[in-house]
Amino acid sequence: MVVYIAIIPQIKLFEWTEIQTLGDLKRLQLVLEGMPDEELMRTLEQQRGKGRDDYPVRAMWNSVLAGIVFQHDNVEKLRRELARNGQLRELCGLDNQVPPPWVYTRFLKNLMAYETLIDGMFETLVEQICKVLPDCVMLAMAFGRIKENQAEKMRSLVSSAAS
């Protein structure tokens, strides 16, 4: 008697190893393309007005995101990476110049004034994920990243997307 076993491949929505095998520059590019940061950028550019633009707002923001993607825990490590890596400078929009430390200090101070916009970006990203992965609401709550009222809003989005 021959027994046949059916092998049904599992379809995976997201495979972390696909991201891990990418180089840091490609991962940064994915982050820059997917980040819902347009409102923050417009606000910061408007705040700057007609002031000096040696280091454009978007280039500074992109380099800050690069520091996160490249896992640099301080500005000096990020600056060394930017000085060493021309492709990174180009991707960030820095035109072959590395901002001095005081430029980062000022930029990060200005950035913290818009914490609500940054929180809104995070909420937008979580909402986008929860439309695809409904269980993420509970996971996000478990990690304390969203409050109960935000969770209710996301649950309603998930249920409306599912219907």
Checking if the pLDDT of 144 tops 70, the result is: no
How far apart (Å, rounded) are the C-alpha atoms in residues 75 and 63?
Answer: 10
- pLDDT tier at 11 (50, 70, 90 boundaries)? very low
Q: Is the pLDDT of residue 89 over 70?
A: yes
Taking residues 31-46, what's their average pLDDT? 92
Asked if the structure places residue 94 within a domain, the reply is yes
Same domain for 90 and 123: no
Same domain, 56 and 135: no
Mean pLDDT for the chain? Answer: 79
Find out whether 23 and 7 touch, Cβ atoms under 8 Å: no
Q: Is the sign of the CA dihedral 115, 119, 101, 41 positive or negative? A: negative
Q: Is the pLDDT of residue 157 over 60?
A: no
3 domain residue, yes or no: no
CA dist., res. 39 & res. 12, Å (int): 33
Alpha carbon distances (Å) from 126 to 34, 65, 88, 137: 12, 18, 27, 8
Give the model's pLDDT for residue 163: 44
Give the pLDDT confidence score for residue 65 in this predicted structure.
93
* pLDDT beyond 80 at 27: yes
pLDDT at 101 over 50: yes
Question: What is the C-alpha to C-alpha distance for residues 109 and 3, in angstroms, rounded to an integer?
Answer: 68
Which of 55, 66, 30 lies closest to 110 in space, CA to CA? Answer: 55
- Which comes out higher in pLDDT, residue 143 or 97? 97
pLDDT for the residue numbered 37: 93
Residue 105 lies in a domain: yes
Same domain, 102 and 154: no
Give the mean pLDDT of 82-91.
Answer: 95
pLDDT, tens digit, for every residue of 65-84? 999 989 898 999 999 999 99
Domain end point (choices 91, 113, 135)? 113
Q: Inform me whether the pLDDT recorded for 155 exceeds 70.
A: no
74 and 149 assigned to the same domain = no
